[in-house]
């Protein structure tokens, strides 16, 4: 591989890292945007973190409340559902943008003859030509996967390099590279989340499934470049969940969705409705007796 090709790969990493830096969570959790989107939990009960207006930025940063992440899950806990949905879309979008941009730049460099791929084609086991070009594009995409997740999870604008957990960005990457695998992993995520109520456990389960599918079933069609890129990407996501793993092990992880509590609330509502109906019926009977008398 030529020095120019190596420099181009480094440039693609920086490009993808820059795309991943976009602070969608902190932007929507601070200032007027947060107050416009509103916090329905805070408006009803008073925010658990001490902020009653759904404005995290007025007293604390997003990294100082909830789980400390800047992703959609912590925004959901701290701000509200609408803001979390917007953050989810933006995090997916910046990952898609990073891959498409890197792919276009790589094709432009190859079509323009800027890169010499003779050595690269030989190392890939191809006879040169399109084989080396396709391999180089896959290598650029692998670098973009790692760069985008590093930018999202370890942003330089954060003092302690603490960003999101990388789940939404990883979904955006899979949306471009392997949409069928994303669909299967999303169904697994929904199933685990429905039964257990832990967003972190659902994300870890989906991440491990993507890792196993990439290494054991998709390594040949993807090539070793993208295989290693996706493996490192899943490793970054799991590394960012290390605190969640320890809390899950100790039984201290907070549920984002508790099916048992919801079932209890439904039963309590049904009981209250039955009591109201019984009272109304008894009142009607008394009124009818009085009228007859």
pLDDT digits (tens, 9 = 90+) for 171-229: 999 999 999 999 999 999 999 999 998 999 999 999 999 999 999 998 888 888 899 99
Give the chain's end-to-end CA distance (angstroms, integer): 103
Nearest Cα residue to 151 out of 176, 178, 173, 169: 169
Distance between CA atoms of residues 265 and 30, nearest Å: 33
69 Cβ neighbours under 8 A, 6+ residues apart: 25, 62, 63, 162, 163, 164, 165, 240
Label residue 45 by pLDDT band (50, 70, 90). Answer: very low
> Mean pLDDT across the stretch 13-26?
94
> Does residue 49 carry a pLDDT above 50?
no
Nearest Cα residue to 229 out of 176, 266, 265, 180: 176
The pLDDT score that the predictor gives to residue 41 is 45
> Does residue 59 carry a pLDDT above 50?
no
> Does residue 262 carry a pLDDT above 80?
no
pTM of the entire predicted model: 0.78
Q: What is the pLDDT of residues 143-183, one digit of tens each?
A: 999 999 999 999 998 878 889 999 999 999 999 999 999 99
The pLDDT score that the predictor gives to residue 71 is 87
> Does residue 273 carry a pLDDT above 70?
no
Would you call 156 helix, strand, or coil by DSSP? coil
The pLDDT score that the predictor gives to residue 128 is 42
């Amino acid at each position: 591989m030529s020095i120019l090709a190596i420099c181009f790969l480094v440039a693609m990493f920086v490009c993808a890292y820059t795309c991943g830096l976009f602070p969608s969570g902190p932007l929507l959790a601070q200032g007027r945007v947060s107050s416009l989107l509103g916090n329905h939990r805070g408006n009803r009960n008073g925010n658990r973190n001490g902020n009653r207006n759904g404005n995290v930025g007025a007293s604390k940063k997003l990294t100082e409340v909830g789980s400390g992440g800047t992703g959609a899950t912590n925004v959901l806990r701290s701000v509200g559902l609408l803001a979390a949905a917007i953050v989810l879309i933006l995090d997916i979008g910046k990952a898609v943008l990073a891959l498409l941009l890197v792919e276009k730049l790589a094709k432009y460099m190859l079509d323009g003859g800027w890169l010499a791929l003779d050595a690269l084609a030989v190392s890939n086991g191809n006879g040169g030509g399109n084989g080396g070009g396709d391999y180089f594009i896959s290598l650029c995409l692998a670098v973009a996967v790692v760069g985008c997740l590093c930018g999202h999870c370890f942003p330089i604008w954060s003092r302690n390099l603490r960003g999101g957990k990388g789940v939404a960005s990883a979904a955006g990457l899979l949306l471009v590279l392997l949409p069928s695998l994303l669909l299967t992993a999303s169904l697994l995520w929904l199933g685990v989340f429905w039964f257990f109520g832990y967003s972190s456990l659902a994300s870890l389960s989906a991440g491990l499934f993507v890792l196993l599918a990439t290494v054991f079933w998709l390594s040949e069609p993807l090539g070793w470049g993208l295989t290693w890129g996706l493996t490192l990407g899943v490793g970054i996501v799991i590394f960012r969940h290390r605190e969640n793993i320890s809390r899950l092990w100790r039984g201290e992880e907070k549920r984002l969705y508790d099916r048992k509590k919801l079932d209890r609330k439904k039963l309590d509502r049904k009981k209250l409705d039955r009591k109201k109906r019984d009272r109304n019926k008894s009142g009607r009977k008394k009124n009818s007796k009085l009228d007859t008398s």
